[in-house]
Amino acid sequence: MSKKFRIAIVEDHQLFREGLKSMLDSRSDLEVVGEAEDGLEAVRIIRRVKPAMVLLDLSLPKISGISVMKEIKRDMPETKILALTIHESDQYVFEAFAAGVDGYCVKDVSRQELMVAIDSVMQGKPFISSGISVQVIEGYLSGRKSLKDESGWDTVTQREKEVLKLLAEGYTNKHIAAFLHISVKTVEKHRSNLISKLDLHNVAQLTTYAIQKRLVEPKT
């Protein structure tokens, strides 16, 4: 039996949340592993159950869906997030993609389109609902390059952050590989990714950056 794709649902309206769960439970390849009705509860549950994907409402009690998204993408960058929202304005779309959302779907979509959105995000493909205007999509795409340039840190994975911290603490690739139970070649790949993503050129610059990000304390 193939492994099911684990999903958490974050939605403050119980009826809509139950409808989503019933819809997902009808598929043999999906498993709902957590539910939350407010932002704070969402962060706690997602950290505990570690789903592969989160279906996330943007309008939540206590803390917003955008704030939840930033927390999850910071702590678990590999987790896919599909926003489910009533908001179609450019402000919400831009903020969601800036926070790292993998797909954006309005709530009045058909069951078929929602399943397409879920499948697309599962496969690592970005999704934008057909309910979002062409002008909003074009506006986002035109500003995407500058957004990427400004948020290199947001693209750094948790494992890359671990490697960065250890590099800044003075450990060799061999020691880092042993600590993290990975190969030296993988450490070198993470180091190369860091240099590329952060537009830095050597370990000294990586160390300075790690201090700025408070991953390590400066040596006195």
Tens-digit pLDDT profile for residues 178-188: 888 899 999 99
Whether 128 and 29 map to the same domain: the answer is yes
CB 34 within 8 A of CB 23: no
Q: How many domains, the chain?
A: 2
What pLDDT score does 149 carry?
43
**Between these two residues, 50 and 213, which has the higher pLDDT value?**
50
Collapsed DSSP state (helix, strand, coil) of residue 70: helix
The residue among 118, 150, 182 that closes a domain is 150
Q: CA 209, CA 1: separation in Å to the nearest integer?
A: 46
The CATH number covering residue 41 comes to 3.40.50.2300
Confirm whether 217 is domain-assigned. Answer: no
Sheet containing 5-10: which strands, arranged edge to edge?
A: 30-36, 5-10, 53-57, 80-85, 103-106, 127-128
Tens-digit pLDDT profile for residues 100-147: 899 999 888 888 999 999 999 999 888 888 767 555 555 555 555 444
Residue 114 belongs to what domain range? 5-150
